[in-house]
Every structure is written in structure tokens, then in C-alpha cells.
Amino acid sequence: MKKLITLSLIALTVLFTGCDETKKVIDVAGNVQLTGSYTVTALKGQKVSGQNVPSFSLSAVDNSIQGNTGCNSLFGKYTLDLYTINFKDIAVTSRECAEDNTMELERKFLDALNNTGSFELQENTLTLYSKTDRSVLLKATKDKKK
């Protein structure tokens, strides 16, 4: 009976350790896939265009985000867990921009990052979803490598 319990415990340990390692591999692969520069194309279902369009870069090396809100520079960190992404410690410079809707666009962009819970990357389009109701917060096109 002791042998059966011992073998069961060993089998469960191997099973759970294997799952954990598989999850780590998937997380790293997702992180590398997300690495790159993006230009925001839509915020909360509204197309974004013009010369003050928000853009950002994600780096798998240190899980950092850097970018521009259309007016101010931003930087911070993100965490990734399978298809869950959370942005944290987002800091923004404090320049006021007078162009039409620039500050409103900046607020929508920052709100989208702060409320993101999950993501999807398909055909070079990154979609960020709300952590509360899974609505689309942001769509961005991944810039092609030069």
C-alpha cells in the first residue's frame, strides 16, 4: 500500500511539474511573439488616425512597454500569463498638448492599458481586451521589421 501511495505521489509530482514547464514555454513563446512596435488603430471601437496616433513597443527582454500617447512619452512594465496580460507601473511625461482631441485620445489609450486583462495577436493585429467584460479596448498593428 505504501508503494502505491508513493508511486501515485511521484506520478502526480511529475504531471504537475510537466504542466508548469509547458506553461513556462508557452509564456516565453507568447512574450517573444508580442515583442515589437505597434501603432494604435482603434480605441474602444473608434478608429484612430492622424499625426498624433499613440504607438508603443513591447520588449520580452525585460517585459517593458515604451511608447508615445500622441502627446507624451510613456514607459512601464507588463506581465504575461498565457493569454493574460497586465500593464503596471505605467508612467507618463506631463506635457500638455493643445491639438484637437490629443489629450482625450491619450486618456483613452492609458485607460485601455490600465484595464487590459487579455490579448490576442493575429495577422499582425494586437487586440487588447477588458479584464472585466472582455470587450475590445484597443487594436494596434504590429510594425513590420525593417
Q: What range defines the domain where residue 46 resides? A: 2-142
Cell 511573439 locates to 33
pLDDT at 51: 82
CATH number at residue 61: 2.40.128.270
Tens digits of residue pLDDT in 38-85: 999 999 999 998 888 999 999 999 999 999 999 999 999 999 988 899
**pTM across the whole model:** 0.78
What does the mean pLDDT of the chain come to?
84
Distance separating alpha carbons of residues 42 and 136, to the nearest angstrom? 9
Distance separating alpha carbons of residues 130 and 119, to the nearest angstrom? 9
Distance separating alpha carbons of residues 45 and 136, to the nearest angstrom? 7
Cell 509530482 locates to 13
Tell me how far CA of residue 125 lies from CA of 19, 40, 97, in angstroms.
Answer: 29, 10, 28
> What is the total count of domains within the chain?
1
Tens digits of residue pLDDT in 89-130: 999 999 888 777 888 999 999 999 999 999 999 999 999 999
pLDDT at 107: 94
pLDDT class of 4 with cuts at 50, 70, 90: low
